[in-house]
């Protein structure tokens, strides 16, 4: 079972920041928070991941609370092409084969509106 | 660099038949995972292969099997197809060259319809 809780859907106006929340209250100390998204009819796409510190890349920012029980994915300037299902996943990852696989929940369906 | 390539993209089978799906990972990636996606169950992990060995397996019946070749290409097979096997089958590869974390790179998927 997925160890995260996300709202089923959200809307965001084009050009505004999209803030997608995720609760992971049972996260362990060695579990990372991963975000993936899936645009309709495509395979999931990796966005970002983090352990404790906030992270930023060219796609998004990840804000993890100090107690690590929740996080927020921020798309700073949402476009229509960001409309997708966003998945928040927690897992241990040491880069070895045979790790606990990614367990996808139902995610958040983000609709960016013009 | 080419992405993960899955073939065929679409196929239609009838109940009782078997099907083989193919996946070519990103060059240099040695781990290949397979997922099934259906509207009702979402994305579910099938299995992971590394160095031609199955390293992890999800909760699917024995009708679902896979293998990996020495060039890291992978195939999955579903025998005695059932209507419920209709799904998008996704392959993902990852690099494990000493990295602490390795994100998965997914292909576009093979959409199987069982009639």
Check: CB of residue A71 under 8 Å from CB of residue A65.
Answer: yes
User: How far does B16 lie from chain A, in Å, by closest CA?
Assistant: 27
pLDDT tens digit sequence for B98-108: 555 668 899 99
* Cα A22–chain centre separation: 7
Rounded CA gap, A5 and B17, in Å?
Answer: 38
Binned at pLDDT 50, 70 and 90, residue B95 comes out as confident
Scanning every residue of chain B, which has its alpha carbon at the shortest distance from the alpha carbon of A44? B106
Q: What is the mean pLDDT of chain A?
A: 91
Rounded CA gap, A62 and A75, in Å?
Answer: 9
Strand pairing category for B110-114 and B10-13: parallel
User: How far does A73 lie from chain B, in Å, by closest CA?
Assistant: 17
What pLDDT was estimated at residue B1? 64
Check: CB of residue A102 under 8 Å from CB of residue A89.
Answer: yes
Closest CA to A19 of A80, A62, A57: A62
pLDDT tens digit sequence for A87-105: 999 887 766 666 778 888 8
Cα–Cα separations (whole angstroms), residue A27 to A2, A22, A89, B2: 11, 12, 10, 35
Residues of chain A found within 8 Å of residue B96, distances taken between Cβ atoms = 95-97
Within the 59-98 window of chain B, which residues sit less than 8 Å (CB to CB) from chain A? 90, 92, 96, 98
Choice among A67-71, A77-81, B52-56 with the minimum mean pLDDT: B52-56
Rounded CA gap, A29 and A52, in Å?
Answer: 9
Mean pLDDT of A39-59: 92
What pLDDT was estimated at residue A85? 97
Binned at pLDDT 50, 70 and 90, residue A41 comes out as confident
Residue B111 three-state SS: strand
Cα–Cα separations (whole angstroms), residue B73 to A78, A95, A96, B30, B77: 36, 19, 18, 9, 14
Peptide bond into B8 cis (omega under 30): yes
Mean pLDDT of B67-74: 96
Rounded CA gap, A85 and A80, in Å?
Answer: 13
Scanning every residue of chain A, which has its alpha carbon at the shortest distance from the alpha carbon of B98? A95
């Amino acid at each position: 079972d997925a160890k995260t809780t996300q709202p089923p859907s959200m809307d965001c106006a084009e050009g505004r920041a999209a803030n997608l929340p995720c609760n992971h209250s049972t996260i362990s100390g060695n579990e990372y928070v991963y975000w993936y998204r899936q645009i309709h009819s495509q395979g999931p796409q990796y966005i970002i991941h983090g352990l404790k510190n906030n992270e930023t890349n060219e796609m998004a920012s990840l804000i993890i609370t100090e107690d690590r029980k929740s996080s927020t994915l921020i798309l700073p300037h949402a476009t229509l092409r960001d409309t997708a299902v966003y998945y928040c996943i927690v897992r241990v990852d040491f880069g070895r084969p045979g790790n606990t696989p990614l367990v996808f929940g139902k995610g958040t369906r983000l609709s960016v509106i013009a | 660099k080419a992405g993960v390539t899955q073939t065929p993209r679409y196929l239609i089978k009838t109940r009782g038949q078997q099907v083989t799906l193919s996946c070519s990972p990103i060059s240099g990636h040695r781990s290949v995972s397979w997922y099934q996606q259906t509207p009702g169950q979402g994305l579910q992990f099938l299995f992971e292969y590394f160095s031609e060995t199955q390293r992890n397996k999800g909760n699917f019946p024995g009708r679902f099997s896979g293998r990996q070749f020495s060039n890291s290409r992978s195939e999955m097979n579903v025998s005695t197809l059932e209507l419920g096997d209709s799904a998008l089958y996704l392959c993902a590869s990852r690099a494990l060259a000493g990295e602490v974390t390795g994100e998965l790179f997914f292909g576009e998927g093979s959409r199987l319809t069982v009639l």
